[in-house]
Amino acid sequence: MTLHLVAGLLKAAASALEPGSTEFIVTVQDIRHDHLTAAREHISNETILQRVEREVKEDCSHLQTFLQAIQTIEEISPKSKDAIMAVGERLSCRIVAGILNDQGIEAQFVSLETVIDAGFDSTTLDQNFYDYLSRAFASALSNCGHRVPVVTGFFGPVPGSLLTSIGRGYTDLAAALLAVGLGAKELQIWKEVDGIFTADPRKVQGARLLDMITPEEASELTYYGSEVIHPFTMEQVVRARIPIRIKNVMKPSGAGTVIFPDQDALGCQLVKPWSSTPTLVSEPLFLTDGRHCASEREQTKRQQQHQQRPTAVTVKENIWVMTVHSNCRSLSQKFLAEVFSLLDRHGIAVDLISTSEVAVSMAMEGSVVEEKVMKEVVSGLSSVGVVEVKKGRSIVSAVGRGMKGLVGVSGRMISTIANVGVNVEMISQGMSEINVSCVVAEEHAWIALQAVHDGLLS
């Protein structure tokens, strides 16, 4: 489902809540026109085209009726928003299945919208629930036989709603759960980038495409600013020891970047990236159930990556730094307990922490902290010490499994940044020992990142 379509569906949902508005009707008509046009441009077989056109018209008609009902009751629930978004997935997959059939490839449209039939509530979205989903997804594909399944990335109804409980990464998660349920040998996720780079290639000169990366490194990069893959999506396939290959939908011949679960996942022979084995597609995801594995060249490069230097660097912007200086009227452990208890009560997550007996500095993501909440936190902490909040900061992170236990990485990182005239305000090393991060002024973040990339990765 394209971002344009997502925006259109969200716009239609918002318009339906406006009394007397007919804008959502126009939006639905535009969506129907776009999909009918796409079908007519790419499907030449008249019988297949007529079927796809009928299905598109029916889906859009049901969507319009649903939105009219929302306007009547003047309310839209999270599950109703899920149902609206599901239409977009359905339309996209119907057209893809139609195009494949038109090209002589036997394909079958599969909707995952109704696969959840067990009794789950919003408090039971644990691993047992996702194991259940893997089995249910695999069962939904059991009737496809030799046909290529074209599967909706949307699945529901998830307790508490899919968008609320899972978030926008539900499509990647659906592919991961399908991979686990089918026992796939490799999960391929297709994006509009070549793979994972040593840094953002749009802003850092000399950034290189990585042939491979570990799940731990990918998780750290995702958390600290690089859009790689949602950590929970990755966790599902890593648990099943399934490698993940990230490829560019515009450059299908590229090797992409492979996220390897562990050494044991590499014990098979190499086959071509595009084999004749069945491929399951959920735009923009391709799940391959073939004997895919790393070549000896890839295994060698993976070992080389573990040399004593970072694998990649990244920046996380819009950071606030809160520093609390203790009034020394309580023990250091009690002081820290009071600080973090208050943050927990307000639901504030901390990205980085630097502590001493009399002070603690914490970096947090500004986009998820409301000004009103921050004022309440500052007021609440005034009883334990003096509070200072600085905005307009960024976190610069160096990530690499090869850094684990290595002496001097933090010092080299600070000196490299200092050499380009950028002040480091705070530094922290993750407990995993594969991440070293520091806080700098936001206007100097990319200068610092370029320096770290040149000094530690080149």
Candidates 178, 194, 198; CA nearest to 186 is 178
Query: Which residues fall within 8 angstroms of residue 367, CB to CB, at 6 or more apart?
Result: 318
Same domain for 225 and 279, yes or no, is yes
Whether residue 319 is found in the same domain as residue 433: yes
Between the alpha carbon of residue 369 and those of residues 55, 346, 403, the distances in Å are 44, 9, 32
Distance of CA 191 to the CA centre of its chain: 11
Where are the extended beta strands (E) located within 231-365? Answer: 244-248, 257-259, 279-282, 285-288, 312-326, 352-355, 359-365
Total domains, the chain: 3
Residues 267 and 171 in one domain: yes
Q: Same domain, yes or no, for 53 and 71?
A: yes
**Each residue's pLDDT tens digit in the chain (458 positions)?**
666 787 889 899 999 999 889 999 999 999 999 999 999 999 999 999 999 999 999 999 999 999 999 999 988 888 888 889 889 999 999 999 999 999 999 999 999 988 887 666 656 678 888 898 999 999 999 889 899 999 998 887 777 777 777 777 788 889 999 999 999 999 999 888 899 999 999 999 999 999 999 888 888 888 787 777 877 788 888 888 999 999 999 999 988 999 987 544 333 332 333 333 333 333 334 444 433 444 445 544 554 444 567 899 999 999 999 999 988 766 667 888 889 999 999 889 899 998 887 889 999 999 888 888 999 999 999 888 899 999 999 999 999 887 766 667 888 899 999 999 999 999 988 766 788 999 999 999 999 999 999 999 87
* Domain enclosing residue 51, as ranges: 1-104
Q: Is residue 322 located within the same domain as residue 223?
A: no
Distance, CA of 218 to CA of 224 (rounded, Å): 10
Residue 124 and residue 154 in one domain:
yes
Q: Domain with 75 in it: what CATH number?
A: 1.20.120.1320
Domain boundary among 305, 338, 367: 305
Find all residues with CB under 8 Å of 325, minimum gap 6, and list them: 358, 359, 385, 386, 387, 388
Whether residues 64 and 175 fall in one domain: no
Residue type, 140: A
Tell me the chain's radius of gyration from C-alpha atoms: 25
CATH number at residue 261: 3.40.1160
Same domain (yes/no): 97, 136: no
Q: End of a domain among 104, 126, 149?
A: 104
Tell me the pTM: 0.77
- Residue 176 and residue 77 share a domain: no
Domain co-membership, 34 together with 54: yes
pLDDT score for 401: 83
Together in a domain, 118 and 9 = no
Domain match, 339 and 411 both: yes
Contact 434, 400 (CB under 8 A): yes
Rounded CA separation 51/38 (Å): 14
Residue at a domain's end among 80, 104, 128:
104
